[in-house]
Amino acid sequence: MSNGVFVSNGSEHAPKVQYLVVKEDSEGQRIDNFLLSRLKGVPKSWIYRVLRRGEVRVNKGRVKPTRRLALGDRVRIPPIRTASENQAKPGEGLRQLIDDSVLFEDGQLLVVNKPSGVAVHGGSGVSHGVIEVMRDLRPEASYLELAHRLDRDTSGCLMLAKKRSALQQLQKLQLAGKVEKRYLALLIGRWRKGRVTVDVPLQKNTLKSGERVVRVDPKGKAAITHFEVLQRFEDSMLVEARLETGRTHQIRVHAQHQGSPIAGDPKYASDEQNQMLRHLGLNRLFLHAWRLSFPWEGRKGGYRFEAPLPQELQLVLDRLKK
């Protein structure tokens, strides 16, 4: 069993009926959501089909998709081959990279200092992301889910929930705006003001080429970013960006909207702008999620996580100072 998902031992063994006992972190969850969260790689259509046919049983009885589970319920899972059976395991190099990037772990949360270039989850041509690798590294974990997202090229603090109750609490905190997310970014250009708040709506778009981009659009979703200049250089500046909302590419597009895109941004900065800092060794997006903080029920002072600036980004700053 891996993360609550049962798989066969190989092609020589046919899948068999398996059973799961509902633990505290799944108490009160609907049976369809329970199955969806545990049977990774299994189509929704298959799950609802076996529920409809009565092949999924709870305490030996047929159930509807809306049935809520109780502590200690015994769930019957019919024979199935999950996508993970035929999928290669994460490479040892990636496993070691993610394992070495763990900043914090307790019974509720796991925080990783995600490296730039590593996706948070598999898909779109990527076999393994942080979540798949962590599930492979923690086979004993019955529950492990992403609590939020970071762009593939962005490094820094990424949270995973180790309990369903922890994920629910984090989702409520994020909806209430109580999770403070701070980023460090190197912007191309200079602002006279030391603090700038950008409050413009953003809309996702798909170009004719199929590329997905985000644009400022009055019809888009509300988005607010607070920027503070920390250091000024000749043609660039190091800023801290604090998110009030969490839209896709929010900091990147808001910075571009102010006329100062993030250095190394292949999507929202021009080749000429990126070339300015390439000679200093900048070969990635200069955006790093350096701090996460939020209150937590039963924990005095809540949680606060910090990820130091990666060495390759600090080296660029050192060269700019010279």
Rounded to the nearest 10 degrees, how much is the dihedral formed by the CA atoms of 125, 128, 129, 134? 170
Residue 2 has a pLDDT of 39
For residues 187 and 312, state if they share a domain: yes
> What is the Cα–Cα distance from 40 to 64, expressed in whole angstroms?
21
The residue from 141, 170, 199 where one domain ends is: 170
The residue to which tokens 């086979």 are assigned: 139
Return the closest-CA partner of residue 69 out of 21, 37, 107: 21
What is the 8-class DSSP label of residue 304?
A: E
Clarify whether residues 94 and 81 are in a common domain. Answer: no
CA-to-CA separations, 261 to 57, 190, 203, 221, 256, in angstroms, rounded:
54, 11, 18, 20, 4
Do 155 and 266 fall into the same domain?
no
Q: What is the C-alpha separation between 107 and 280, in angstroms, rounded?
A: 42
Residue 228 and residue 149 share a domain: no
Residue 98 inside a domain? The answer is: yes
Question: What angle is formed at CA 223 by the lines to CA 181 and CA 185, rounded to 5 degrees?
Answer: 45
pTM: 0.77
184 and 312 fall within a common domain: yes
Instruction: Determine which one of 25, 73, 136, 151 is catalytic.
Output: 151
81 and 109 in a single domain? The answer is no
Expressed as residue numbers, the domain containing 250 is 178-321
- Is there a single domain that holds both residue 146 and residue 79? no
- What per-residue confidence (pLDDT) applies to 198? 97
Q: Would you say residue 5 lies in a domain?
A: no
Q: Which amino acid is at 40?
A: K
Phi, psi of 252 (to 5 degrees): -65, -45
Extract the tokens encoding 180.
């403070």
* pLDDT recorded at residue 90: 80
Query: Could you give the 3-state DSSP secondary structure of residue 86?
Result: helix
| Cα–Cα dist 197/109, whole Å | 31
Residues 198 and 124 in one domain: no
pLDDT tens for the chain, 322 residues long, are 334 433 333 444 556 888 989 888 788 889 988 888 888 767 788 888 899 889 999 999 999 999 999 999 999 999 876 554 445 678 889 999 999 999 999 999 999 999 999 999 876 666 788 998 998 898 888 788 999 999 999 999 999 999 989 999 999 999 999 999 999 999 999 999 999 999 999 999 877 777 788 999 999 999 999 999 999 999 999 999 999 998 999 999 999 999 999 999 999 998 888 888 888 899 999 999 999 999 998 899 999 999 999 999 999 999 998 8
Task: Assign residue 123 the CATH number of its domain.
Answer: 3.30.2350.10
Alpha-carbon torsion (185, 187, 191, 197), positive or negative = negative
The residue among 85, 119, 137 that closes a domain is 85
Q: What is the DSSP string of 69-102?
A: P-TT-EEEE-----HHHHSPPPPHHHHHHHHHTE
Residue 304 has phi, psi (to 5 degrees) of -150, 125
Which pLDDT value is given to residue 87? 56
Active site residue 151: yes
For residue 25, the model assigns a pLDDT of: 77
